[in-house]
């Protein structure tokens, strides 16, 4: 018969043994350390001033009086270190990091999650709640492939609901992408108060940019003969997308104000009743010519023409016409007008 128990190595009191209390107390001390095992920490070097009952898992490359005892448990009892040998399956609470450990027969490991774990909320380095049931506080989050691919799925119950990624600044929404209230994929941005859709793609694959300026401008239906050297503008505008406005007044009409910085495709259509010869330019800020046309004497024959320009414009730039020679223009929608779109 062995002198100790099989699992915990507790000493037996032997028949006719003297001072049985010594053996009994030794077993009690072992039980006191092992049962409800709680480790102060996992250390390689013993602490300088241990307290009665302090318990440590000895790490690799142990030093000091723990040299050669790596992997064992050290318990401070009655002014000296007592050593225990952990076995596979022992569990211990690591008070230094607030984590439950399990011994795999060689080293202590964090307690693994079960193969099929289900929980109502999970917070990683932060607190989860009934809405944000999974919450993660981390400098980065990695979702890696297992095999060749990886797909992140966001599902909604019906078309009228939302499935999206929301980007916030100090907990205030600033950008969102996904299916918001319909089945059209959209990218939206916000200044913290108003949301605007920058890009929308229909289920048929058609792409819209609702905020990209697209516009037309003209003068009220009439005819005029601008003086040679005059600069003229427009009196009527319509925004097909985004916004458009008129600025400073010119000799006839007003400057057209560019609403946003970008690359624009501009068309100038004109209709002339009579002319003895003319030159027509489309100017940016009243100075820079981006399109030019000219014509000779046509008498009473109505002449139409089209100027176009692909140009980079900045928000606040203005567009106007510059005239040379003599020509009578027809004004109004679908007569002399300017059309533009930001690409």
Among 210, 242, 276, the domain-final residue is: 210
Which residues form the domain of 60? 36-110
- Whether residues 176 and 224 fall in one domain: no
- Whether residues 235 and 329 fall in one domain: yes
- Judged by DSSP in three states, 28 sits in helix
User: Which residues lie below 8 Å from residue 174, measured CB to CB, with a gap of 6+?
Assistant: 167, 168, 189, 190, 192
Length of the chain: 343
Specify the residue for token string 């070097």. Answer: 45
- Whether residues 99 and 218 fall in one domain: no
Tell me the C-alpha distance between 315 and 188, whole Å: 21
- Whether residues 235 and 179 fall in one domain: no
Q: So what's the pLDDT on residue 253?
A: 95
- Whether residues 229 and 298 fall in one domain: yes
Tell me the C-alpha distance between 243 and 173, whole Å: 24
User: What does residue 83 show for φ and ψ, rounded to 5 degrees?
Assistant: -120, 140
How many domains is the chain partitioned into structurally? 3
Say yes or no to pLDDT of 9 above 70.
no
For residue 62, is it within any domain? yes
- Whether residues 258 and 165 fall in one domain: no
For residue 102, is it within any domain? yes
- Whether residues 218 and 311 fall in one domain: yes
pTM: 0.62
User: Which pLDDT tens digit goes with each residue over 178-205?
Assistant: 999 999 999 999 999 999 999 999 999 9
Percent of the chain at pLDDT above 90? 81
State mean pLDDT over 240-250. Answer: 95
- Whether residues 333 and 272 fall in one domain: yes
User: Which residues lie below 8 Å from residue 91, measured CB to CB, with a gap of 6+?
Assistant: 37, 100, 101, 102, 103, 111
Q: How is residue 241 written in tokens?
A: 């997308």
Domain of 266: which CATH number?
2.60.120.40
Among 210, 232, 252, the domain-final residue is: 210
- Whether residues 84 and 170 fall in one domain: no
For residue 149, is it within any domain? no
For residue 31, is it within any domain? no
Tell me the C-alpha distance between 228 and 310, whole Å: 26
Q: So what's the pLDDT on residue 26?
A: 75
For residue 139, is it within any domain? no
For residue 25, is it within any domain? no
For residue 133, is it within any domain? no
For residue 46, is it within any domain? yes
State mean pLDDT over 6-27. Answer: 73
Tell me the C-alpha distance between 176 and 168, whole Å: 9
- Whether residues 278 and 291 fall in one domain: yes
Tell me the C-alpha distance between 101 and 107, whole Å: 10
User: Which pLDDT tens digit goes with each residue over 107-146?
Assistant: 999 887 777 778 899 999 999 999 999 999 999 999 999 9
Among 195, 210, 225, the domain-final residue is: 210
User: Which pLDDT tens digit goes with each residue over 321-331?
Assistant: 999 999 999 99
């Amino acid at each position: 018969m062995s002198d100790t128990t099989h699992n915990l190595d507790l000493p037996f009191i032997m028949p006719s043994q003297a001072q049985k209390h010594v053996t009994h107390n030794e077993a009690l001390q072992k039980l006191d350390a092992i049962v409800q095992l709680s480790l102060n920490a996992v250390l390689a070097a013993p602490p300088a001033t241990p307290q009665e009952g302090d318990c440590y898992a000895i790490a690799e490359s142990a030093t000091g009086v723990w040299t050669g005892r790596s992997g064992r448990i050290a318990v401070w009892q009655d002014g000296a270190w007592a050593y225990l040998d952990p076995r596979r399956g022992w569990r211990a609470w690591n008070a230094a990091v607030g984590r439950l450990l399990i011994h795999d027969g060689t080293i202590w490991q964090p307690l693994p999650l079960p193969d099929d774990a289900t929980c109502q909320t999970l917070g990683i380095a932060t607190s989860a709640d009934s809405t944000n049931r999974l919450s993660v506080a981390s400098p980065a989050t990695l979702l890696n492939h297992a095999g060749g691919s990886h797909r992140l799925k966001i599902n909604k119950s019906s078309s009228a609901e939302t499935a999206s990624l929301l980007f916030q600044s100090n907990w205030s929404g600033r950008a969102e992408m996904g299916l918001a209230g319909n089945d059209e994929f959209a990218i939206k941005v916000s200044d913290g108060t108003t949301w605007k859709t920058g890009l929308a793609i229909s289920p048929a694959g058609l792409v819209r940019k609702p905020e990209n300026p697209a516009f037309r401008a003209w003068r009220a239906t009439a005819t005029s003969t601008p003086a040679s050297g005059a600069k003229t503008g427009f009196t009527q505008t319509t925004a097909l997308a985004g916004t458009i406005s008129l600025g400073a007044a010119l000799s006839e009409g007003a400057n057209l104000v560019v609403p946003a910085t970008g690359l624009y495709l501009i068309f100038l259509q004109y209709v002339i009743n009579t002319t003895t010869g003319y030159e027509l330019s489309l100017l940016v800020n009243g100075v820079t010519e981006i399109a030019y046309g000219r014509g000779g004497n046509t008498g009473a024959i109505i002449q139409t023409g089209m100027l176009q320009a692909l140009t980079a414009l900045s928000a606040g730039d203005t567009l106007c016409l510059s005239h040379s020679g003599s020509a009578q223009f027809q004004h109004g929608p679908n007569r002399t007008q300017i059309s533009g779109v930001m690409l």
